Structure 1
Amino acid sequence: MNLFDLAGEGATAGPAEPVCSRKACRSGAEWQLLWNNPKIHTPERRKIWLACGEHRAWLEDYLQTRGLWKDTVALDPTGKAS
């Protein structure tokens, strides 16, 4: 037995479409919120949270309040930054 067997047959890597990172939201993502934690990440590193239109402001505020937010960019239909 290996670690991949623990996932079970037919397990998928994740959702087919990008979804919002807000807890319990399953709406399609429209935005990428780029952030990093300067206490543990190098300055050039960017972590990404995805946001739907409804939760973009909430997630930005959450990151800004903690001094983590760096930038917000639109997510194009192919899932890349525009």
Structure 2
Amino acid sequence: MTATDQPTPADELVCSGKGCRADASWAVLWRNPKIHTPERRKVWLACDDHRDHLENFLDLRGFRLTTIPVADLGPADG
């Protein structure tokens, strides 16, 4: 947040679905084991409408680790 407590674009959690600008409710955590170390976790944010699609896309490739509420994301996630 800024000094005025107004959200900035960096504070907004927006769905990663193509063309979607909805608020994200979910964090889909993933890694590509061919290029990422085991400690590395990447995050796609998802609204309720795109959660299944993003999870299925990553599941088909064996990349998805887990899905958590965005409120549970920590500083190390990303």
Q: TM-score, normalised by structure 2?
A: 0.78
Show structure 1 runs of 5+ residues with no match.
Answer: 1-12
Give the count of matched residue pairs. Answer: 67
1:25 to 2:20 alignment = yes
Letter paired with 2:24: A
| Cα distance in structure 2, aligned partners of 1:23 and 1:55 | 9
Show structure 2 runs of 5+ residues with no match.
Answer: 1-7
Deviation at residue 28 of structure 1 after TM alignment: 0.3
Specify the structure having the higher radius of gyration (Cα): 1
Question: Identity over aligned residues, as a percent?
Answer: 51
Letter paired with 2:18: K
Q: TM-score, normalised by structure 1?
A: 0.74
